[in-house]
Structure 1
Amino acid sequence: MNFDGIWTPVVTPFTQDGSVDLDVMEKIIDALIGHQVNGLIIGGTTAEYYALSKDERKQALTFAAEHAGGRIPIVAGINATTTEECLELGRHAKSIDYDAILVPAPYYCQPTQDELLEHVRCVDDALDMPVMLYNFPDRTGVPMSLEFIEALRDRPNIQAIKESTGSIERMHVLANEFKDQIQLSCGMDDQVLEFFTWGARSWVGGASNFLAPEHVALYQACVVEQDFVTGREIATRLLSILNLLEQGGKFCQYIKYGCELAGFPVGPARRPLLPLNDEEKANFKSAYDALVAHRDRS
């Protein structure tokens, strides 16, 4: 499977009573398809999968698959604390025709590299679907070592990795020494220009939920046209927001506030995450308004 392009990890909207708001999810999916992102990820970190019940996760996966209706490739986030629960979610995704699965390290239990390898092999054997690995040790507590990736070389379904460590050195190694094995996808938004410069052709960008035109334009400039002067100009306009997302400590809250500013009221993040304060909202809105003003002038 080709993971080129902008992949949006879709937010999970909530109603006032805290249930999943499928009406708003429908509007977001339609808007993203209209903005020509390349694919959708349902059930990733941006979707707050860890805060959803299993039934809610299956509900969101089913609704997104039915509403997307083959108009765009879709990837299912299936992470959980146990292999069996991952498999249950993966089997559900496969039964409703998802194109691929997103596989991080199971969180909290902190498997060793050998245990993580066995986990991924088990998922691959059971589901036989294209896999994008998701390396985010700050969230899961466990890195995906280079030796771990090398050990999956004989697994053709393991096709891409969303790299979210923030290590430029590691990104260089993946871009150069593993380019024939696995496709590199940017998972560190404030480093996207560096990823594209080093040959990445894929970006899983949470802010594309509400800034899809800028994400698509940056991909078009850097990857399709190889115009890094224009790419740097676009990245510079995005950087204040991307820095807030990656360094502000409130990723999901900022994404959801961005959606609200873009006309998609998606509700708050689930507790224990708390809403942004007035100063945080003002700083974010200032950066957002500047981007939209530039878009309107273009």
Structure 2
Amino acid sequence: MFKGSMVAIITPFTPDGRVDEEKYRQLIEFQIENGTDVIVPCGTTGESATLDYEEHDRVIQICIEQVNKRVPVIAGTGSNSTTEAIELSLHAKKMGADAVLLVSPYYNKPSQEGLYQHYKKIAESVPLPQILYNVPGRTGMNMEAKTTIRLAEFSNIVAIKEASGNITQSGEILAAAGDKIDVLSGDDFLTLPLMAVGAKGVISVTANIMPKEVKAMVTAIQEGRWDDARGMHLKMLDIHNAMFIESNPVPVKTAASLMGKCGATVRLPLVDMQPHTLETLKSVMKGYGLI
């Protein structure tokens, strides 16, 4: 249902910490102009964890308004409270989102049965396409392939964003339920290998600053131009890795700032990049001609 190059878009802030609506709209236009297939607001990269409820809804609303149906919008509405996730998802539906992205409950560390019941309840409560989001590095636990395979039986659970770093796990999902649920890469540096085993695309961090290049690689894979895709994949590894030299989204937001796209302001407990990692980031970006 959703495929290609999808961006987990950053949420720009003004120097005093408010959502910068003007810059945000410009970032959305930058993505569409460069071929990005889907915009994903309020994910991890969009600093959803430090947006209050009003801001969260507003960021999604701005995205839907600015996109104006030119590409799908997948709204991040996950929570470690099932009830809260349902409320956020229903509101996103009311605003016109095409789907929702649901991060696994963080901090609670539910069992695999708890994960199943969480997503089952949302699927039964929200009549909208849903994308599961497995990111153990953020949530503290892994959603196992067998749990995803069970959840694939729900018709409105259409995909999983796999950021476990485990290609075998993604392969197991595709082998058992690939006709019922799509896999999307949640790690830029694993997009090519995951698409090689059947993933449909990537929800990308790097696309915030290199949308044309990420789109080009995904297109090459889709068209079976594997030598071209492999070359682009290897060429982009350094910038993919640079996006995680500190906690996401600090490096990518700093990179966007260095390119003049928006401010670098992040909200506590995130802080500005440390001097040594900032210099590393600048060096990598210069290598790609980004600054």
User: Common fold, TM-score beyond 0.5?
Assistant: yes
Partner of 1:245 in structure 2? 243
Equivalent pair of 1:160/1:185 in contact (CA under 8 Å): yes
Partner of 2:53 in structure 1? 54
Instruction: Return 5+ residue gaps in structure 2 as ranges.
Output: none
Give, in whole Å, the separation in 2 of the partners of 1:290 and 1:22. 31
Partner of 1:232 in structure 2? 230
Cα drift, residue 242 of structure 1: 1.0
Cα drift, residue 5 of structure 1: 0.4
Partner of 1:69 in structure 2? 68
Equivalent pair of 2:149/2:176 in contact (CA under 8 Å): no
Partner of 1:154 in structure 2? 153
Partner of 1:180 in structure 2? 179
| Deviation per residue, 1:155-200 (Å, 9 max, x gap) | 1111111100111221222333331121111112211221122222
Give, in whole Å, the separation in 2 of the partners of 1:117 and 1:75. 21
Amino acid at match of 2:264: G
Equivalent pair of 1:50/1:80 in contact (CA under 8 Å): no
Partner of 1:289 in structure 2? 286
Aligned residues: 291
SS at match of 1:162: strand
Larger mean CA deviation between 282-291 and 56-65 belongs to 282-291
Aligned pair 1:278/2:275, yes or no?
yes
Cα drift, residue 102 of structure 1: 0.4
Give, in whole Å, the separation in 1 of the partners of 2:235 and 2:213. 9
| Deviation per residue, 1:211-233 (Å, 9 max, x gap) | 1011011011112x211111111
Larger mean CA deviation between 162-171 and 265-274 belongs to 265-274
Partner of 2:30 in structure 1? 31
| Deviation per residue, 1:53-82 (Å, 9 max, x gap) | 111101111111111111110011111221
Please provide the CA RMSD for this pair: 1.6
TM-score computed with the length of structure 1 as normaliser: 0.93
Give, in whole Å, the separation in 1 of the partners of 2:166 and 2:123. 27
Question: Which residues of 2 match residues 1-298 of structure 1 at below 5 A?
Answer: 2-223=1-222, 225-246=223-244, 248-292=245-289
Equivalent pair of 1:183/1:200 in contact (CA under 8 Å): yes
Cα drift, residue 31 of structure 1: 0.8
Equivalent pair of 2:79/2:102 in contact (CA under 8 Å): no
Amino acid at match of 1:169: T
Cα drift, residue 116 of structure 1: 1.6
Instruction: Return 5+ residue gaps in structure 1 as ranges.
Output: none
Cα drift, residue 124 of structure 1: 1.1
Equivalent pair of 1:12/1:266 in contact (CA under 8 Å): no
